[in-house]
Every structure is written in structure tokens, then in C-alpha cells.
Structure 1
């Protein structure tokens, strides 16, 4: 059964890239079609998805040997797990009691224009009261919870390529 799933790691990395494109497309759909404005943590998660997708695309285009696959797999897992950490913080903020939620900060555009880059990054990663609002759910899970699941799946897919490559000789 597992031999059926042992495609070339290049194909799996490309499928991971397509998954990232899908996630970014859904974010754009919710923002531009449904009118849901992303909070700073949502934007940070999108950046992590973009970086993970770029690692996957690079691996698929490069088609490296085992050492390269291992390096790409670890890089993809690290970027996905960084995104998972951001998603975890977002989920945590959404589950805080109302009196413990951080205050809403200024808009991201204002912060980008008026604050140094370090302060902007700090705001994007710490989250604001805007991040506590749940605008959308599917099967009882909020968007950050689904994004956390996606990051865990992307990290797993990435790390499995180390094992997948080792078995490519006996195909």
C-alpha cells in the first residue's frame, strides 16, 4: 500500500506547492470576495505559507539528490512549523476570555508607514484584538485552526520526503 504513495519526491514537493497556492488563493478569496480583512497574524500566516510554497517549488524545480531532498525537506518543515507556531498563537488569542484579549492596534498600513520594520514585525507576530474575532468557521473550526492543521500537514509532507527518497531505488 505504501509503495503506491511513493511517488518521486519532486512530485510530492510540487503537490505541496500546489497546496500552498490553494491556501493563498483561499485567503485572497476571503479577503477580496467575501470582504474579510486579514489581521496581522493572518498576514503573518500567509507569509509563512508563501515561504513554505517557495521552498517546495524550489525543491520540485531543482530535483536534487538525497542530500538536497533532505535539505529542502528540513527547510520546508521549518517554514511550515514557524507558520504553525503563528497559527497556534492566533488560536490561543481567539480562545482567550474577552477581558484578556490584547487591545486592537492601528491598521497594518499605518504601522508600515509610521513605524520601523522591527516594530511592524513585532506587531504582526504578537497579534492584536482584531485577531481574536472569529469571522468564519467550517465544521466548528476557525480559519486559524484550519491553517494550523494545514501547516502540520505541510511539515509532515515535507519531512516524509526524506523517507520517500531513500526508498526511490527499489521502485
Structure 2
């Protein structure tokens, strides 16, 4: 069963569905609970989409042994980026007094107004709105759940990279 599930295209397609399913879940929660995503939330969504696109490309390509390792490395880089963003977000939520107290500019405003390097600096510094905890599941915040998902998807990518093709 595991061989068929993780073999070639199926495994990569499963990673694609999981990645974009998480983005869909974030959009659902945003609409259902009227949540306004902060810049770090949006950055995490972008990281999930990047992972999903890489999984989709791998599914379409159906790589051989070396290609699986290359895709695995790319997946791990994307997952590690997401882990870093989520970890920063968790830190900001745990230390709201160390982040500016007032709400900062939104993601769209930052990206449209500032050069890319400055915009990325502002996004990753976090804003007051990044420290807000608006929704939890089993006591875990959305960034904590995202961190778990990034770790899981990264490990899944490593599994796919070293799994023998059926």
C-alpha cells in the first residue's frame, strides 16, 4: 500500500493536494471567522503555494533517481523557508511586547510601496497585527499549526526523494 501511495507521481500529487489544501483551509478560516491575515500569514501561504507548485512540477515530471533528489532538495528548501517564517511568527506571538504595539502596514501596501529588499525586511520584522492570536485549534495557533505542516511536508518530501520508484 505504501509503495503505491508514495510511488512516483502519486506521492508528489498528494504533496500538491496537501499544500494547496492548507492554503484553501487558510482562506476558509479567513472567510468563516472574518480573520485578517497579517504579512507573516500571507508569507506562510506563499511558502505553502511554492511547496505545492514544486510538488506539482515533480508530479508532472515524474523524475528518476537523481531528479527525485533534486526535487527533494527544492522541497526541503521551500519547507525550511516556511518553517522559518512560521517560527518567527510564533516568536512574535509569544513576545508581543518586543514587537511594535500598533498595527503596521498591510502586506499589499508594503509590497506596492517599498523596494523588494525593504519590503521583505518590513514583512519579516512583523507588525503589531502579527502578534494577535485570533483563532486556535487544540490550543495551537495558526502559525504553530503551519509549522507542524511545514515540518510534515518537508519530511514527506524527503521520504519521496529516497523512495524507490515503483
98-107 or 66-75: which moved more? 98-107
How does 1:32-111 map onto structure 2 within 5 Å? 32-96=31-95, 98-103=96-101, 104-111=103-110
1:163 CA drift (Å): 2.1
State the partner residue of 2:22: 23
State the partner residue of 2:8: 9
1:100 CA drift (Å): 1.9
Q: Is the 8 A contact 2:71 2:161 kept in 1?
A: no
Structure 1 runs of 4+ with >4 Å offset: none
**Higher-Rg member (1/2):** 1
122-131 or 82-91: which moved more? 122-131
State the partner residue of 1:138: 137
Q: Normalised by the size of structure 2, how large is the TM-score? A: 0.91
Q: Please, which runs of 5 or more residues in structure 1 have no aligned partner?
A: none
Deviations 1:123-168 (A, max 9, x none): 2222111111100000000000000000000000001112212xx4
1:52 CA drift (Å): 0.4
| RMSD of equivalent CA atoms | 1.5
In structure 1, how many angstroms separate the alpha carbons of the residues matched to 2:159 and 2:76? 10
Q: Please, which runs of 5 or more residues in structure 2 have no aligned partner?
A: none
Q: Is the 8 A contact 1:41 1:126 kept in 2?
A: no
In structure 2, how many angstroms separate the alpha carbons of the residues matched to 1:162 and 1:64? 10
Number of equivalenced pairs: 163
